[in-house]
Amino acid sequence: MMKQSKYFQCIVFLVIILFVLQSMSGCVFQELPDASVDDVSANTTVENMVVQQEAPDTVVLGGYTSVQGEANNPEYDLLIINGRVIDPETGRDEIAHVAVKDGLIEKISTDPALAQSDADRIIDAEDLVVSPGFINTHTHEGQIEDVPTTDYLPDCTRYYVQDGITLWLGGDCGVSPMGVEIPTGDNNTIGWGHHQQSMGEFLDEAEELELYNNCGFKSGNMTLRSNVGLSHGEGESEEQIGEMQSILEDDLESGSFGISYGLMYDMGATKEACLALAETSQAAGGMAASHVRYPLWNLNHLLLGKDLVLFKDAIHEAIDKSRETGVPMIVSHITDMAQSGSSEWAFQVIDEAIREEGLPLSGDIIGHDFLMNDAYILTFQGRIPIALLFLIGGYEASQFYAGNDFYIDDELFVEKYDQLTYWQLEYLRMRIDDVDIPAEEEKEESLSIPVICEIIPPEDTKLGLQYPWCFIGNDASVRADAETGEYYTPHPRALGTFSQLFGRWTREKEAISLHQAIFKASFAPAYWLGLDQKGRLQEGCDADITIFDPQTIKHRAEWVGGTEELAPEGIEYVIVNGQLVVEHGDLTGATPGEVIRRDWEVPGNTTELISVYDEHFVNE
């Protein structure tokens, strides 16, 4: 009895000491695991009791850690609470909490208990939309002479992620990400980058870079033409076609998504060569994307409203590649190429081929009223008078602005961003070979005479947004400042395409609903491309997430006035592979982006995509 009494007194004395220590430190101790009195006495003697202030509100006692606030070993890396969670595949739309762990969405629930879980970082998304990250189906890396693309690839991701983009596809319009070099026959060259580099070598280097978001790449037919020694406008021989196919096979084996065509930029590409490349891509499970051969114009403004669309073959050529080879095909930036009232015809003929023949076709649009073009190309190397161009296209001079300072005979003819007059445009055409751009700007722009054109009617964009198979591509790139060497973007599309989709077209113009816009910006391209872990807010999917305010999201970058690099408003957070990359519109410095090497068959399942769309939106 005496021994038990002394033993009890020791326990009481120890409890008093612990109480005093707790009062002095002001800390709250974590409850000890269940243990017998003997266990407690054995493990908490005065000799082995350690009190250590490791961090604010943290105490270690006998090997047990107590934390007030943030836990040392949180259950989740990131916890998004109280947000309006929208998943376009399942139709989920509710206030819920999203838990992220190891780059994946681990749990989504409305249970308040999840909001109380431990996490390294908690984002309160009240009044915000929590959406799958945006997927950009058509863009470019840059056009910088003698500079490898890997030098500025991180800057592409830096710009694009600020517009909510978590994954983008480059290598469009016929130019692989490595570059291109095609002699034009007039002592000039269409060229930039290092076109001799293989796709495999490029991807190996790109995987070592610090990227802000995810990216994948297509192989360009113009780059392939470069690699077999063809000049601008020169047709391919059977032997050269075979060489191009062999190079493309290697690209596809290395992870290329497929073949892209830039037929307007080098019309020497034969239909036979283009078809052969489509066959090669399809055989390897790849896709195709085409900048069509000619712009389309509708002469209804000259024919009292009667439709007469010129150059229909440009669209039919793209459709025929898919019809004859089965290759999944994206018709690129449709409203940019189908001008002057011809967009309606272009959308209809593609939609008919999908619905009536089941072809794996899709398309994309940008959503801007402006585009950057080249007066050299628009006037077919100066051969078409401006009066005829305006007559065919129904254009006015007030729709055109100078894309750079232009000099003729060493004198400044027009300044960048100036609205051009009819006579200035005609004089530029007549002196097409004498127009100079300052050296510091010539390296920045690949276009001979860059002209900013306000020629895309808003009605065409609204029309394109109605088609479930029509995706969004920003068609942007970066350039290098020759004086500072710093990389910048000349295109407001880099920072203002998806924000414009949700701000201008969805909220302001009400062209489509919020749900339809999210479907189009995320799930639709992911589903069509076969990216099963992307474009969805579901447990087990990749944690690529864009969180935005639907009431304030808007683009600020514009084409004229030097505002090209203004970041959008209302995109509060962007999460890539589970890491927070954008916070309140600013970059955090995290670079978790990855290079996506395709090793699956692109399904191009347009018919199924339409069925999913109709299931959700047919009654909206």
Instruction: Report yes or no: 504 and 465 within 8 Å, Cβ to Cβ.
Output: no
| 134-369+456-617: CATH class | alpha beta
What is d(CA 142, CA 135) in angstroms, rounded to the nearest whole number? Answer: 19
More confident residue, 448 or 328: 328
Separation of alpha carbons 131 and 134, rounded Å: 8
Q: What percent of the chain has pLDDT over 70?
A: 86
Q: Which residues does 152 contact at the CB level (< 8 Å), separation at least 6?
A: 141, 142, 144, 478, 480, 487
From the list 248, 250, 253, 254, the residue with the least C-alpha distance to 288 is: 248
Q: How high is the pLDDT of residue 14?
A: 44
Cα–Cα distance measured from residue 28 to residue 12, given in angstroms and rounded to the nearest whole number: 20
Q: How confident is the model at residue 442 (pLDDT cuts 50, 70, 90)?
A: very low
d(CA 447, CA 373): 8
Alpha carbons 466 and 516: distance in angstroms, whole number = 9
What is the rounded distance in angstroms from the CA atom of residue 97 to the CA atom of residue 107?
Answer: 8
Specify the pLDDT at position 146. Answer: 83
- State the distance between the two ends of the chain, measured CA to CA, in whole angstroms: 83
pLDDT at position 27 over 70: no
Is residue 577 predicted with pLDDT exceeding 70? Answer: yes
How wide is the angle at C-alpha 474 spanned by C-alphas 374 and 369, nearest 5°? Answer: 60
Residue 184 has pLDDT above 60, yes or no: yes
Positive or negative, the CA dihedral 108, 112, 118, 121 is positive
The amino acid occupying position 240 is Q
| Sole residue written with tokens 């991807």 | 203
Which is nearest to 90 in space by CA: 619, 533, 612, 471? 612
- Per-residue model confidence as pLDDT tens digits over 111-125: 999 999 999 999 999
Q: For residue 29, is pLDDT > 90?
A: no
Question: What is the residue extent of each domain of the chain?
Answer: 33-73, 134-369+456-617, 370-455
Question: What value does the mean pLDDT take over residues 557-575?
Answer: 93
Q: Does 563 have pLDDT greater than 60?
A: yes
Considering only residues 431 and 24, tell me which one the structure prediction assigns the higher pLDDT. Answer: 431
Bigger pLDDT: 445 vs 526: 526
Please, which residues bridge with residue 60 across strands? 52, 65
Q: What is the dihedral of CA 533, 535, 537, 540, to 10 degrees?
A: 0
**The pLDDT of residue 176 is above 70:** yes
Confidence of residue 47 (pLDDT cuts 50, 70, 90): very low
Q: How high is the pLDDT of residue 278?
A: 98
Q: In b/e form, how buried is each residue of 334-357, taking b as 16+ CB within 10 angstroms?
A: bbbbbbbbbbbbbbebbbebbeee
- What separation in angstroms does the CA of 282 have from each of 222, 612, 618? 19, 25, 32
Q: What is the CA radius of gyration of the chain?
A: 29
Report the share of the chain in percent with pLDDT over 90. Answer: 74
Question: Do residues 122 and 113 touch, judged by C-beta distance below 8 A?
Answer: no
pTM above threshold 0.75: yes
Give ∠ CA 486-257-599 in degrees, rounded to 5.
120
98 pLDDT more than 60? yes
Q: Give 571 or 405, the one with higher predicted confidence.
A: 571
Distance (Å, whole) CA 417 – CA 404: 7
Q: What is the pLDDT confidence band of residue 620, given thresholds at 50, 70 and 90? A: low
Predicted pLDDT at 51: 29
- Give the closest residue to 328 by CA, choosing from 291, 271, 278: 278
Residues 92, 518: contact at Cβ < 8 Å? Answer: no
H helix or E strand, kind and range, residue 609? helix 606-617
Model pLDDT, residue 485: 85
**Do residues 446 and 190 touch, judged by C-beta distance below 8 A?**
yes
Q: What is each CA distance from 72 to 30, 77, 79, 80, 124, in whole angstroms?
A: 12, 12, 15, 19, 21
* Mean predicted confidence (pLDDT) in 276-294: 97
Mean pLDDT calculated for residue range 297-315? 94
Strand order in the sheet with 470-472: 219-220, 258-262, 287-291, 329-331, 361-365, 470-472
Q: What's the confidence (pLDDT) of residue 613?
A: 97
Q: Give the whole-angstrom CA distance, residue 314 versus residue 299.
A: 16
pLDDT at 610: 98
Least confident of 57-71, 296-310, 397-411, 532-546: 57-71
Cβ atoms < 10 Å from Cβ of 5: 9
Specify the pLDDT at position 554: 98
- pLDDT at residue 63 in the model: 29
**Is 36 exposed, middle or buried, given 0-12, 13-18 or 19+ CB atoms closer than 10 A?**
exposed
Answer positive or negative: Cα dihedral of 67, 69, 70, 76. positive
What's the pLDDT tens digit per position in 65-76? 223 344 478 999
pLDDT digits (tens, 9 = 90+) for 327-371: 999 999 999 999 999 999 999 999 999 999 999 999 999 999 999
Taking all residues of the chain, what is their mean pLDDT, rounded to a whole number?
A: 87
Helix (H, G, I), strand (E, B) or coil at 592: strand
Tell me: the pLDDT tens digits for 497-530? 999 999 999 999 999 999 999 999 999 999 999 9
pLDDT of residue 283: 98
- Give the C-alpha separation, 560 to 540, whole Å: 44
